[in-house]
Structure 1
Amino acid sequence: MRGKRSATGAAMAVGALAVTGLAFAPTAAAVTPTTATVTASCGIFGGGAATLTATQTGTSATITLTSTAITAPLALSANSITSTLTMAKASGGTTVFSGTVNPAMATGAAVTVGPLPGTVASGDSLDFYGGSLKMVIFGVTVTCTTVAKQSPGPFVFD
């Protein structure tokens, strides 16, 4: 009987610790929506539908842009595109996400840049419309813009 009580007591202690741990665990910041689409125009380099994917951890956020309509002009090695994604803030101004993060891509492959890191504040509402994506590929700058707001709406950071 004594062993049974010890096991029950131990189980209750573990359960209490788990609940206490949950109570003190940091809350995860969330961005909504996590994905949005735009129609990007990259001048002579093409254009079309692109998907933006956002993540957030506190004031740190990342955005990845992927497009099957915008293609690699040449074979590109991983982390060879210098990208600067400028997002327009609903409150005015811009927020910049930048880096040299991209997978290796064959000639004609869909372009993916990111996740590009940036800093956000709680309540920031960011849209690709009014911003741009600048990619430097082998010394050539490719600038992509859009003429419409992203769908389903701007990224709102918690």
Structure 2
Amino acid sequence: MRSKRLGSAAALVAGTLAVTGLAFAPTAAAVTPQTATIDATCSIGGAGEATLTATQTGTAATITLSSTEITAPIALAQDSISSTLTLVKASGGTTAFTGTKNPAIAAGGGVSVGPLDGTVAAGDSLEAFGGSLQMVVFGITITCTASGPQSPGPFVYE
């Protein structure tokens, strides 16, 4: 009887350790790379380097774009920019990420929009070069385009 209790206790301890290990295991990055940079030119706000940060949970994905070199000519309130980031699929076509998320931006401050929401499929390879970012501010559309491929390469989704 005693060996049955020890066997049951050992199995319980092993199971608890396995579950605890899973709870503390690092999560896998579903999209690679998670960050990329582009050189972009905008119809208002100038030109310069911008950083794209991507996340993925299943088919839901987000991208945030931020730049200290592309600036806002006027102060902008939080969540006042309606943005659409269109990325080019390696397999053809495009994928759009949309939203109205942005921090408050001071006049002359760097632009940041996102997270912008989009839908991806396993195997999608998305690139900013050939796409665009359109931001609508006070009814005025500002378009930004990349002058070359993003670095270190396109976002590839699992």
Q: TM-score range by the shorter chain?
A: 0.7 to 0.9
Question: Any residues of structure 2 matched to 1:33-112 within 5 Å, and which?
Answer: 33-112=33-112
Shift of 1:135: 0.2
Runs of 4+ in 1 over 4 A off after TM superposition: 8-12
Distance (whole Å) between structure 1 residues aligned to residue 13 and residue 66 of structure 2:
45
Query: Which residue pairs with 1:133 in the alignment?
Result: 133
- Tell me the residue number matched to 1:119: 119
- Code of the residue aligned with 2:138 in structure 1: it is F
**What are the Cα deviations for residues 111-138 of structure 1, in whole angstroms up to 9, with x where unaligned?**
0000101000000000000100000011
| Structure 2: runs of 5 or more not aligned | none
Flag the 1:11–1:147 CA change in 2: closer, same or farther, 3 A: same
Instruction: Please tell me the residue identity of whatever aligns with 1:84.
Output: T
Task: Please tell me the residue identity of whatever aligns with 2:100.
Answer: T
1:102 to partner: Cα distance: 0.3
Q: Deviations over 1:75-110 (max 9, x none)?
A: 111100000000000000000000100001111111
Task: Please state whether the residue corresponding to 1:96 is helix, strand or coil.
Answer: strand
Change beyond 3 A, Cα 1:29–1:19: same
Greater CA deviation, 57-66 or 43-52?
43-52
Which residue in 2 is equivalent to 1:16?
A: 15
Matched to 1:15, the amino acid is A
What displacement does 1:147 show? 2.2
Give the TM-score, by structure 1 length: 0.87
The CA deviation at 1:43 is 2.5
Answer whether contact 1:101 1:115 (CA < 8 A) is retained.
Answer: yes
- Cα deviation for residue 33 of structure 1 reads 0.3
Q: Per-residue deviation at 1:72?
A: 1.2
Q: How many residues align?
A: 152
What is the TM-score normalised by the length of structure 2? 0.87
Aligned to 1:146: 146
Q: CA deviation at 1:146?
A: 1.3
**For the residues of structure 2 that align with 1:69 and 1:149, how far apart are their CA atoms?**
18
The CA RMSD over aligned residues, in Å, is: 2.5
Give % identity.
Answer: 65
